[in-house]
Amino acid sequence: MQMMKYKRFVIAIVLQIFVSISPLAVAGKLAIVIDDIGYRAREDDAIYNLPKEVSVAIIPVAPYATARANKAYEQKRDILIHLPMQPQNSAQLIEAGALFVGMGEDKVARLVESARMQVPYAIGLNNHMGSKATTDRQTMQHLMKALSAQQLFFLDSKTAGNSVAAKVAKEFGIKALERHIFLDDSDALEDVKKQFQQAISYARKNGTAIMIGHPRKHSIAVLETGLSNLPDDIQLVSLSSLWRDEKIEPVKPFSIQFVIEPALSSVPPFNTVPLLRGLPRE
């Protein structure tokens, strides 16, 4: 009976230590995409110093597009084509190589093929602007057919609440995701901090949060601090792990198991063991 009590006591202590050092079994997943890569050397470099799980979305006609794609590939970082698409406001300036409503299927296919040549190693595509293009079903059908031919995933930046892009992508058998949080709609530091915390809360509540940001001073500062101090229940993941529905395993703690045998003198019938030097027993 005393032996059983002793073993239960030891097991209870070991379990208490294990629970105190182990991570939560289920972590909220946080995926981050930084848009508009390819224009500014200093800001781009700061983004590339963040953990490799942070994905980069590169505008094809940006002056450093191909160089940034090559660097991301060397870092084993996910690369997206950040394709300009027609916005609702026709007065907004938009880069060359943009997708416009009314383009024919062949022209859209050539557009995507050209963009992929400018952004090598891309595994997916998301929209730059596009509040009008992503709401037009026929335009999205042409786009998704081109993505299917190029074997590219799709991320809807959700610049329009009534976007049909992700729905059409799935109709074409393309794995599609949608943005949940914008990090820096407002460039004010306190607003950016608030949005980062909003992404943490969203991941906790829904299991996954996809956040899009830009290579700006305050965004970089918030990401550098926030990612180095992520809560234990939040796990930074690559976008590709979500596209591929990969299971994210929590880090297993280092543990040692001890087999503890009770001292002989504590085991009935408590036989006396002679001392090694042969001293007489009192």
One-character DSSP codes across 111-149: HHHHHHHHSTT--EEEEEE-TTGGG-HHHHHHHHHHHHH
Secondary structure (DSSP) of the chain: -HHHHHHHHHHHHHHHHHHHHSPPSS-EEEEEEEEEETS-HHHHHHHHTS-TTSEEEE-TTSTTHHHHHHHHHHTT--EEEEEEE--S-TTS---SS-B-TT--HHHHHHHHHHHHHHSTT--EEEEEE-TTGGG-HHHHHHHHHHHHHHT-EEEE--SSTT--HHHHHHHTT--EEE--EES-SS--HHHHHHHHHHHHHHHHHHSEEEEEE-S-HHHHHHHHHHHHT--TTEEE--HHHHHTT---PPPPPP------PPPGGGSTT------TT-PPP-
Please tell me the predicted confidence (pLDDT) of residue 244.
Answer: 87
As beta bridge partners, residue 151 has none
Q: Is the model's pTM score more than 0.75?
A: yes
Please tell me the predicted confidence (pLDDT) of residue 24.
Answer: 44
Q: What is the CA radius of gyration of the chain?
A: 28
Q: Are 119 and 58 in contact (CB under 8 A)?
A: yes
Please tell me the predicted confidence (pLDDT) of residue 267.
Answer: 52
Q: What is the pLDDT along the chain (282 residues), one digit of tens a residue?
A: 555 544 554 444 444 444 343 444 457 999 999 999 999 999 999 999 999 999 999 999 999 999 999 999 999 999 999 999 999 998 899 999 999 999 999 999 999 999 999 999 999 999 999 999 999 999 999 999 999 999 999 999 999 999 999 999 999 999 999 999 999 999 999 999 999 999 999 999 999 999 999 999 999 999 999 999 999 999 999 999 999 886 655 443 433 344 444 555 555 555 555 554 454 544
Q: Does domain 28-243 have CATH number 3.20.20.370?
A: yes
Please tell me the predicted confidence (pLDDT) of residue 21.
Answer: 39
Please tell me the predicted confidence (pLDDT) of residue 271.
Answer: 55
Instruction: From 61, 14, 21, 64, select the one nearest 40 (Cα to Cα).
Output: 64
In sequence order, what are the residues at sequence separation of 6 or more whose Cβ sits closer than 8 angstroms to the Cβ of residue 188?
A: 218
C-alpha 182/C-alpha 37 separation (Å) is: 16
Matching residue, tokens 């965004």: 219
Please tell me the predicted confidence (pLDDT) of residue 2.
Answer: 54
- What does the block give as tokens for 245? 């529905």
Q: Give the phi and the psi of residue 181 in degrees, each rounded to 5.
A: -130, 140
Using CB atoms within 10 A of its CB, is residue 208 exposed (0-12), middle (13-18) or buried (19+)? middle
How distant, in Å, are the alpha carbons of 264, 265, 269 from that of 278?
Answer: 18, 18, 22
Please tell me the predicted confidence (pLDDT) of residue 152.
Answer: 98
